[in-house]
């Protein structure tokens, strides 16, 4: 019997999730369908409930509905609770379970594909919106020596760090803090990659051998161009994170983790 999944968002036509999950299903010989569903804030809940009534097993949730999905979940994983955002819904006999796989997608991309162990690293996380919130706990759990969050609106970065500062080495503030030390990993979790707005973090940010990680994907962003200008050797966009979060959703639903690399290569080849 075919199991049914979908991604819900607005807009949704550009989503790569149907392609990714179809590739996972082929790779593992699973019988499933995966659709893209458009909703509005007014229709979000109805569309989800109709999908469940039609026998749907699970759903990915993308912008702008990650908070609506949080509110709809009867039960939350620890990482969804920490992120206060849900990107994966599982429809179980006990009800709707919300999870957030973005952080695992990022951490696995950095450690497994790029080959940089986060334990002991100095990490700079730029941004304090939904994406930063989603990845913060998994990043801290990977054991960095120090994680600094900087944001255009520093109070949002401080609010994020305050949640974890008693348990993990995390600090926060405005962009001016970033220039005061070197980092092994700099992650751009702002939306500047979508708008081409410049991101002025200053020079001398990167330690030798450092990684510049842009969460948005599909093109050279100002953050990536600036990293090139500063001679950073390892620069990547967030496509590996996208495939990684999808793989973790697939694992939650189907109990087996797909191989990310061939699917990532397929996407890069267009």
Query: Residue 212 Cβ, how far from ligand NDP at the closest point, in Å?
Result: 14
Query: Residue 68 Cβ, how far from ligand NDP at the closest point, in Å?
Result: 14
Please identify, using beta-carbon distances, which residue of 77 and 192 lies nearer to ligand NDP. 192
Using CA atoms, how far residue 64 sits from 40, 68, 76, 79, 86, in Å, is 9, 8, 19, 19, 11
Q: Which of 16, 66, 156, 180 is catalytic?
A: 66
Please identify, using beta-carbon distances, which residue of 49 and 175 lies nearer to ligand NDP. 175
156 is catalytic: no
Chain residues in the site for ligand NDP (CB under 6 A): 102, 105, 127-132, 151-153, 156, 189-194, 197, 199, 215-217, 238, 241-242, 245
Rounded to whole angstroms, the Cα distance separating 215 from 242 reads 9
Beta bridge partners of residue 7, listed in sequence order: 36, 60
Please identify, using beta-carbon distances, which residue of 37 and 264 lies nearer to ligand NDP. 264
Query: Residue 31 Cβ, how far from ligand NDP at the closest point, in Å?
Result: 26
The two beta strands, 183-188 and 3-9, are unpaired
Give the list of residues 6+ apart from residue 227 with CB closer than 8 angstroms, or none: 186, 206, 212, 235
Identify which of 38, 43, 91, 34 has the alpha carbon closest to the alpha carbon of residue 63: 38
Rounded to whole angstroms, the Cα distance separating 136 from 166 reads 14
Please identify, using beta-carbon distances, which residue of 2 and 196 lies nearer to ligand NDP. 196
Q: Which helix (H) or strand (E) holds 26?
A: helix 17-28
Query: Residue 238 Cβ, how far from ligand NDP at the closest point, in Å?
Result: 3
**Token pair of 259 as six digits:** 């191989």
Please identify every residue annotated as catalytic. Answer: 66
């Amino acid at each position: 019997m075919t199991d049914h999944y979908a991604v819900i968002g607005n807009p949704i036509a550009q989503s790569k999730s149907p392609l990714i999950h179809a590739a996972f299903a082929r790779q593992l010989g699973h019988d499933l369908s995966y659709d893209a569903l458009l909703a509005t804030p007014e229709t979000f809940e109805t569309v989800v409930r109709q999908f469940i009534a039609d026998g749907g097993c699970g759903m990915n949730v993308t912008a702008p509905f990650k908070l609506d999905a949080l509110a709809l979940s009867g039960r939350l994983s620890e990482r969804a609770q920490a992120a206060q955002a849900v990107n994966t819904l599982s429809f179980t006999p006990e009800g709707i379970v919300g999870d957030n796989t973005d952080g695992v997608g990022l951490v696995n991309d950095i450690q497994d594909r790029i080959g940089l162990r986060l334990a002991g690293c100095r990490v700079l996380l730029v941004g304090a919106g939904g994406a930063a919130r989603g990845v913060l706990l998994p990043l801290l759990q990977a054991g960095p020596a120090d994680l600094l969050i900087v944001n255009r609106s520093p109070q949002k970065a401080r609010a994020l760090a305050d949640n974890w500062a008693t348990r993990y080495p995390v600090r926060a503030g405005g962009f001016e803090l970033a220039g005061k030390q070197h980092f092994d990993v700099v992650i751009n979790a702002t939306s500047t990659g979508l708008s081409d707005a410049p991101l002025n973090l200053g020079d001398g940010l990167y330690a030798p051998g450092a990684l510049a990680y842009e969460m948005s994907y599909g093109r050279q962003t100002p953050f990536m161009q600036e990293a090139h200008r500063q001679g950073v050797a390892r620069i990547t966009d967030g496509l590996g994170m996208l495939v990684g979060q999808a793989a973790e959703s697939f694992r939650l639903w189907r109990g087996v983790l797909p191989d990310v690399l061939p699917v990532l290569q397929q996407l890069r080849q267009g």
